[in-house]
Amino acid sequence: MITAESVNKAFQAMDALTSEQLAQSYDRFFQAQPHVLQFLVGISGNIDRIHELVMHLSFLIFKAYEAEYPGEAVTVKREDFEAVWNQARSWIAQFFSPHTADDLVETEPIK
């Protein structure tokens, strides 16, 4: 789990970067996580502002994970990413379908 402390560390680390350092960090992140980049480009399309925001937030999550688990970052496999994405799409579809509170089933978090 990523803690609030790790998120704060990630924010501080990102705030301390120059534009050039941030660009280099993005490059390193997307080289380590190529499937994440492919996914982000796909969902944000050609809308530059959304694309930039999604990339920034994804990088923040990556930095928070690195702060929480130093030296343990792993590359996400395409098949794992697709499985989680399909699970998320299913959840989103359920979220927007008409349900009562009694119809909803609580699920386990993704690990």
Orientation angle between helical segments 78-96 and 34-44, nearest 10 degrees: 30
Contact 14, 22 (CB under 8 A): yes
Q: Name the residue with tokens 């590359």.
A: 75
Using a cut of 0.85, tell me whether the model's pTM lies above it. no
56-81 confidence digits (pLDDT tens)? 778 888 888 888 888 877 777 778 76
Q: What is the pLDDT along the chain (111 residues), one digit of tens a residue?
A: 778 888 888 888 888 889 899 888 888 888 888 887 777 777 666 667 666 777 777 888 888 888 888 887 777 777 876 787 778 778 777 766 765 555 555 666 665
